[in-house]
Structure 1
Amino acid sequence: MKSLERTIPRLAALAGALPMAAVVAAGLLATATGASATTVTDTFGVTITIESDCQITATNTLDFGTTGVLTAAVDTTSTLDVVCTPSTAYDIGLNAGGGSGATTATRKMTGGAATIDYQMFSDAARATNWGDTVATDTVSSTGTGSTQSFTIYGRVPAQTTPATGTYTDTVTVTVTF
């Protein structure tokens, strides 16, 4: 009993030294064994707008390899990949390249002062020229949202063989949508 008699005055002295709010909070903590938390909820929107769009995702060199005299046609293929949003109609055009005097029907690879004629087609029979006039000699398609691959069919026709060396050209691909 003596121990309790000593403890009560100490608690009373301690209570007098603490702010009343702290004493009340301590009392609440001591008695609230099953207290529950309160929560609130709300919602928020999430949005994105997809516009009609196309991207050229891959192009590969149209490489005719190594050859000797050009007494017969040299054929090769290459591919280009395009991805467009679903239902987006588009046309792929290939320009005449950078060779002097080139057209989309007869492009020119250059090596020094000499050139080598070549052609690009949209079909394996190499009958349909692939140019850059929309709705005339371009390739038309409709986007799916996934990558679509297109084959470029190249041909170096038989012609007078120029000097030895490497002949090059650069063609610009344009997607119109």
Structure 2
Amino acid sequence: MKYTMPDYIRPRMIAGLCMLAMLSVPAAQAGTATANLAVSSNITANCTITTTPVSFGAYDPISANASTPLTATGAIDTTCTNGASATVTLDQGTNPGSGSTAAIPLRRMANGVNYMSYGLYSDSGYTDTFDGVTGVSVTGTGTQVATSVYGSIPAGQNLPTGAYADTVVATVTF
């Protein structure tokens, strides 16, 4: 069976096809122009800081530590922007001894009214006190940098038994 299109549909179909063909023709371009787009950013110095405790363990003033200090090591981990200059300092702690200053901290751990003296140092020879003024210089690499903290409890501190503790605030200034 042959289908024939009615006469009134044919002109509409032709008009529709012409419109469809016109829509697919791209618009003519008259010319072009260019401009520079500035793109910028600024990196500022930034640092984060975390600590690993200095855990001395058991202190024996009668035998092991009667004439030998008890030592332990902790760490201060800083992550600073690549190339940033920073300084890590330690405060005097929550139980500083009489005459203690930021530059010359006299740190003590407390157990009630009893105090155990100790020192924190920036070198393994226990000669450079890790203080709240000079501190230790750090140059940022964009990755974590560990700064060792060397602790020492002087020998011969005959104190009552118990748990002695202190809290020292570590600061990174950049």
Identify the TM-score tier after normalising by the shorter chain: 0.7 to 0.9
For the aligned residue pairs, the C-alpha RMSD in angstroms reads 3.2
Equivalent residue number for residue 163 of structure 1: 160
| 1:67 Cα offset (Å) | 2.6
Superposed CA deviations along residues 59-89 of structure 1, whole A, max 9, x for unmatched, are 1111001232242310111111112222222
Q: Which runs of 5+ in 2 are unaligned?
A: 27-33
Return the letter of the residue paired with 2:91. Answer: N
Post-superposition CA distance 1:84-124 (Å, at most 9, x none): 22222221100000015363532011111111111000111
Deviation of the 1:23 alpha carbon: 4.5
Please tell me whether residue 24 in structure 1 is matched to residue 18 in structure 2. yes
Matches within 5 A, 1:87-166: 87-101=83-97, 103=100, 104-133=104-133, 137-166=134-163
2:46 aligns to what? 53
Aligned mates of 2:119, 2:105 — CA distance in 1: 6
Structure 2 Cα separation of the partners of residues 142 and 118 of structure 1: 28
In 2, distance between residues paired with 1:100 and 1:15?
102
> Which amino acid counterpart does residue 125 of structure 2 have in structure 1?
A
- TM-score normalised according to structure 2 size: 0.75
Pairwise CA distance, 1:146: 2.0
- 1:74 matched to which residue of 2? 70
CA distance in 1, matches of 2:137, 2:145: 12
In the alignment, the residues of structure 1 paired with residue 138 and residue 52 of structure 2 have an alpha-carbon distance, to the nearest angstrom, of: 20
Number of corresponding residues: 158
Q: TM-score, normalised by structure 1?
A: 0.74
Q: CA deviation at 1:143?
A: 1.8
**Counterpart-to-counterpart distance in 2, 1:75 and 1:100:** 19
CA shift, 1:16, in A, is: 6.4
Query: Identity rate of aligned residues, in percent?
Result: 26
Q: Distance in 2 between matches of 1:100 and 1:132?
A: 13
1:65 aligns with 2:48: no
Q: Which of the two has higher C-alpha Rg? A: 1
